[in-house]
Structure 1
């Protein structure tokens, strides 16, 4: 009987909140260029070498950028080198390496597309409550990726809140909507979800309090008012509209 193959070492590339690479349960220290390289490849899984060089060293000549890429690859510690598959044309992350930002993106896309689990568990909520992508990095490609993931996460939270409300889980629906508000307080959709949930439960005072707080925020920050759709949700606003007719 042949012995079963030993499991491959588990490695994780963490890009939410801060950069961290762990392999065999231990952190792997990396310099700045090595972190940027692993983060860029980790978000895409497989990238052409020319794209990596041009993106990570945008102000260098092509020859210098390619040289910087080769130097960075050569200086990678063993714990990081074994995570990359390198060819003359491309660089790829090993299939067994987990990337938290990619996990969050896949989960959020599943929720938005309606492919997520019908019963929402704590794992899904945890995925949608993770932090921003590399918040202290200001590289152009990071800024674009961060904004894309942020918007995707917001849409997933909005969708999740609506789904939970329909399933008769108002407390969890509120949590999802409030998580969306914490990320971007000026978006109206999650505020409507909060007010709608309060009204469905008969909590008129809470609904009015939240609506007025959002209206004050809009006036202060943008000098505008909630949309007509939002105003018509409120009982007092509906009465005033009937009287004006």
Structure 2
């Protein structure tokens, strides 16, 4: 293939622009080189490597170690000469890459602008001034992670991580929590800020979705649960402390009916209670009253909130984690098979023997029932689930079967 790079007369004053964030591109005097101008991958990587260095220069040995670490010095030097020749072809100048005095230089004696270096300088200045507006402006110049095409090259890794951390710092300093949560799904501070924002606006369902987003990321990425501060905020969300709305019409009658149900014998009382109504009508408040009545009668109460996570058995996972975190010894009382099922729902139940065969819905029902009853030996248990309309079909099916599973357990569901 014939390659025709821009031809630049010797001595002409030119400047080089190098783009490393989000992609790789090179422009000479504002004219971007086509991708076909690069005769080889190593030629492009040689320019990328030099662009990352202060003053765009690096010792010959360091270049060889970075790009050809598996080769002997002599073979590495030969490959360097070849890559430099190809890079000069692409750049259209015989002095685009210079090897002299044990160093390799990119575009010496002429202006070179590298977007990654510009971003880092702007970021450091904005962070030093602690100016939210300046941090937001600097964050906007981060157009993507460094050299996505060289994601597995060790010579780019440290700089990529450093620049990414600068971007996260800028987003924190400028309060761009939603973008921060999208870039770093495991950032608890960002998710707490989003939960607090939605809670203050009276949008409890949205706050719970952010909590679910965080919990899912932490479980998959680190195998841990949200910390105590996040969990306390979650409790505020499911308690509905910030929800504003009209008083619940007929609450006294409904409360009395629930009290009557709770007072029935285990053979007579229903296995489930459903509180259904429009947002703001007072379902959460009534649910708290019913739970308080149950506790007064000596019941144990386990309260969770459903959220749209896209994950199967998200509610069952929440129940599992809450009870295990409160008392890990409960795992010793559920039996080996139930523990194997729970370990598939949450890493908190591990280690456990592998489950023989695929996980079935009836196994989840049995394991969750055993867990709930084992967590409160000798007590009736009220399982309270808020925002059940957000739960997926698998969770709804399990909750329905739990309500019909027999004495000792009653399910209280709040839904729109």
Same topology, TM > 0.5: yes
Q: Indicate whether 1:98 and 2:113 are aligned.
A: yes
Deviation at 1:61, TM superposition (A): 0.6
Q: How far apart are the structure 1 equivalents of 2:239 and 2:64?
A: 62
Deviation at 1:219, TM superposition (A): 4.2
Deviation at 1:204, TM superposition (A): 4.5
Q: Which has the higher contact order (CA 8 A, sep 6+)?
A: 1
Worse-superposed segment, 135-144 or 61-70: 135-144
* Among 122, 139, 162, the residue aligned to 1:107: 122
Provide, for residues 220-239 of structure 1, a one-character-per-residue CA deviation record: whole Å limited to 9, x for no partner.
Answer: 55543211122234562797
Partner of 1:232: 232
Higher helix share: 1
Q: Secondary structure at the match of 2:177?
A: helix
TM-score norm. by structure 1 comes to 0.73
Q: How far apart are the structure 2 equivalents of 1:80 and 1:231?
A: 61
Segments of structure 2 that go 5 or more residues without pairing to the other structure are 1-11, 241-291, 293-416
Partner of 2:191: 191
Q: How far apart are the structure 1 equivalents of 2:81 and 2:171?
A: 41
Q: Secondary structure at the match of 2:224?
A: coil
Q: Secondary structure at the match of 2:129?
A: coil
Q: How far apart are the structure 1 equivalents of 2:154 and 2:58?
A: 17
What is the total number of aligned residue pairs between the two structures? 218
Provide, for residues 72-116 of structure 1, a one-character-per-residue CA deviation record: whole Å limited to 9, x for no partner.
Answer: 2233224365544543222334462211222222233334x4236
8 A Cα contact 1:104 1:127, kept in partner: yes
Partner of 1:72: 83
Deviation at 1:198, TM superposition (A): 3.7
Provide, for residues 20-44 of structure 1, a one-character-per-residue CA deviation record: whole Å limited to 9, x for no partner.
Answer: 1111222332221111111001011
- Matches for 1:62-211 after TM superposition, within 5 Å: 62-75=73-86, 76-77=88-89, 78-79=91-92, 81-84=94-97, 86-94=99-107, 96-111=111-126, 113-115=127-129, 117=131, 119-120=133-134, 123-128=137-142, 130-137=143-150, 138-161=152-175, 176-199=176-199, 202-205=201-204, 206-211=206-211
Bigger CA radius of gyration: 2
8 A Cα contact 1:231 1:237, kept in partner: no
Q: Secondary structure at the match of 1:21?
A: strand
Segments of structure 1 that go 5 or more residues without pairing to the other structure are 1-6, 162-175
Partner of 2:69: 58
Partner of 1:39: 48
Q: Secondary structure at the match of 2:128?
A: coil
8 A Cα contact 1:219 1:225, kept in partner: yes
Deviation at 1:152, TM superposition (A): 2.8
Q: How far apart are the structure 2 equivalents of 1:93 and 1:196?
A: 50
Q: How far apart are the structure 1 equivalents of 2:221 and 2:212?
A: 14
Q: How far apart are the structure 2 equivalents of 1:123 and 1:81?
A: 38
Q: How far apart are the structure 2 equivalents of 1:203 and 1:120?
A: 31
Q: How far apart are the structure 1 equivalents of 2:98 and 2:65?
A: 19
Partner of 1:170: none
* Among 22, 25, 29, the residue aligned to 1:20: 25
Moved over 4 A (4+): 80-86, 219-223, 237-240
Partner of 1:3: none
Instruction: Report the aligned-residue RMSD.
Output: 3.1
Q: Secondary structure at the match of 1:53?
A: helix
8 A Cα contact 1:49 1:91, kept in partner: yes
Provide, for residues 115-149 of structure 1, a one-character-per-residue CA deviation record: whole Å limited to 9, x for no partner.
Answer: 36553487434213x11112122222123332332
Worse-superposed segment, 186-195 or 43-52: 186-195
Q: Secondary structure at the match of 1:191?
A: helix
Cα gap change, 1:210 to 1:19, in 2 (>3 Å): same
Q: How far apart are the structure 1 equivalents of 2:177 and 2:94?
A: 41
Deviation at 1:55, TM superposition (A): 1.0
